[in-house]
Chain A
């Protein structure tokens, strides 16, 4: 393995799925390391991240959105926002990117065995949850009841549509999709994700809630989870910051004395509450 943490391995884009179109499009890139050994040794858990780069454009820190149960590739879902992500969106099959990682901590998939899980996602925030959901579904018998709550501005803005369709077919996973405003042909819930959460009303008993999405959504989701009786150590979220190194050295992603890239990105609400610092 490479002992220079700044130097990425090269990976080839094996598949590109357009999840959402438009100005802030989202695409999922399937990446296969050029070196088989690297591919085999790149082991990670849901919640962990990778630095993906285009040579000449720069690097970005992404949650790995594929499940570790898939061994032959990794996936990242990328929203077109800045210089690097826009360039990534221009990429075609067979193009080469740099990848380094995996970085950061992960969801406690071992510790949560035997528990019910509620996933509450919004927009691109679904990416890290997708890794976790697919992991849990692939290890279905280790977990209790599963509720997946996910919403976006409109049905066009929902990511992973095909996968949700598959999930909805399963009897052992409850999927609750929503859009923010009413639209023709939408028969499911209309309203914000935190409201949908109150409607689904998961029981806090032996349950862990995991949420990721825009900061304002997370804020209200946590408020509503507390209303439902969830305690602060039953609530987990995964955060995002501007990052450069991914390994806790370049300085910018700190919340108080912790670095999101290294000590996060997964935090319990209990931890977050005790943590003083801008986020």
Chain B
């Protein structure tokens, strides 16, 4: 892995050069809510954040995406949409969110490739930013991940004082640095050491821990356990946890029309509402909040790992931070592991 340093004074130049070449998405402050948005000027960036409210998955798996347009009716025609083939960079993505994209990749690849997600994914460079001040509910270390891990990004920047330590993790990253090599300097051993220190410090800030030893197998044995009722009693059945989850990928497909034209759109959906599985006959396989709360946990800790050999949670803590009734996935999963079958 190539290692450089980027003096802080050069950051703005680095971003500006990227803006000249790509669509650049970065964390911005929107009415005190941090969100990833396209920026036109490095000044728009807000680096004073732990994690964006909405995960940057929405840049690749958009909350609303037109799959194609059509002339509606029984004599209709289909008008395909153009795929945006332009280069993009996501600046400031956290290592946990970057991992979530690796998790989404497995869903959107497979026997049927999803061109909407994958086209954007292919054209996107992830410029990560290490998390030096993890939140109270951060728990990426429970999965042996690090808040300063370059594993899932193309380039990782880590704030080591007056400069950023830069780790280049892919060919995409190499290319990017190459085109702007004047801005970067080679890293010294001391810089590398400093990064390790920063990383250790960040890890030490994380105090919460989710026990996941053998959780997939344990869950197999407690599907029918009344434990799930006790977890779900207080659930309001809103979609906050799923919409803000960087690995949730459920969607709805709807036709939306005017008199003369229409589009088939895909919109984020949530397994927390009853309508999600309600069949036209009126039958619903997941009729109660218990079924739905359990499904969310199982999807991440049992179903997904069975299919793809990795837990579909990255420990970003968003669902804990935003749950109106304190359904806390660290607590729920840890306690589930202790339930006697």
A and B touch in the complex (CB under 8 A): yes
Q: How large is the interface on B (under 10, 10 to 19, 20 to 34, 35 or more residues)?
A: 35 or more
B149 CB, nearest partner CB in chain A, Å: 27
Q: Given A57-B255, A279-B285 in contact, is the A248-B280 Cβ separation under 8 Å?
A: no
- Name A262's closest neighbour in chain B (CB-CB): B111
Q: Report the separation of the CA atoms of residues A251 and B302 in the bound assembly, to the nearest whole angstrom.
A: 14
A–B Cβ pairs within 8 angstroms, 18 of them: A4-B80, A5-B114, A5-B115, A56-B255, A59-B264, A81-B280, A95-B75, A242-B279, A242-B280, A244-B253, A244-B269, A247-B112, A249-B107, A250-B253, A250-B269, A254-B295, A256-B302, A276-B220
Q: In the complex, which residues 239-255 of chain A have their Cβ closer than 8 Å to any Cβ of chain B?
A: 240-242, 244-245, 247-252, 254
Closest to B307 in A: A257
A55 touching B255 in the complex, CB below 8 Å, given contacts A95-B74, A262-B111: yes
> Which one of A5, A56, A85, A279 contacts B280 once the chains associate, using CB atoms below 8 Å?
A85
A257 contacts which of B80, B113, B251, B302 (Cβ < 8 Å)?
Answer: B302
The reply to whether B67 and A55 contact each other, CB–CB distance below 8 Å, is no
Cα(A45)–Cα(B57), bound, Å: 37
- Please give me the residue from chain A that is nearest to B74 by CB atom: A95
Looking at chain B's contact residues, the main secondary structure is mixed
CA distance A242 to B283 in the complex (A): 10
Instruction: Pick out which of these stretches binds chain A: B88-96, B180-188, B270-278, B332-340.
Output: B270-278
Q: Is B289 an interface residue (CB 8 A)?
A: no
Task: Look across to chain B and name the residue whose beta carbon is closest to the beta carbon of A244.
Answer: B253
Distance A257 CA – B309 CA, assembled complex (angstroms): 12
Give the one of A3, A7, A278 with max B CB within 10 A: A278
Give the Cβ gap from A134 to chain B, nearest Cβ, in Å. 26
Determine if A6 and B67 form an interchain contact, defined as CB atoms under 8 angstroms apart. yes
Q: B280 near A10 (CB under 8 angstroms)?
A: no
Tell me whether A229 is interfacial, beta carbon within 8 Å.
no
**Interface residues in A1-18 (C-beta closer than 8 Å to B):** 3-8, 10
With a cutoff of 8 Å between Cβ atoms, the chain A residues found around residue B13 in the complex are none
Give B106-125 as 1s and 0s: 1 = Cβ < 8 Å from A's Cβ atoms. 01101111111000000000
Cβ–Cβ < 8 Å partners of B286 in chain A: 278
Closest residue on chain A to residue B254 by CB atoms: A58
B74 touches A6 (CB 8 A): no
Tell me whether A152 is interfacial, beta carbon within 8 Å. no
CB closest chain-A residue, reference B267: A244
Is B249 in the interface zone, CB < 8 Å from A? Answer: yes
Contacts of B107 in A (CB 8 A): 249
Task: List chain A residues, Cβ under 8 A from B279.
Answer: 240-242
* Interchain CB contact under 8 A, B70 and A249: no
> Within the complex, what minimum Cβ distance (angstroms) separates B94 from chain A?
24
A215 within 8 A of B: yes
User: Which residues from A are CB-within-8-Å of B299?
Assistant: 251, 254
Q: Which residues on the B side are within 8 Å of A57 (C-beta)? A: 255
Contact at B250–A55, with CB atoms within 8 Å?
A: no
Q: Is A193 an interface residue (CB 8 A)?
A: no
Contact check, A56 vs B303: say whether CB atoms are below 8 A apart. no
Bound Cα distance from A54 to B75, whole angstroms: 10
Interface residues of B in 146-194 (CB under 8 A from A): none
Q: Is B226 part of the binding interface, using a Cβ–Cβ cutoff of 8 Å?
A: no
Q: Answer yes or no: B234 CB below 8 A from chain A CBs.
A: no
Is B17 in the interface zone, CB < 8 Å from A? no
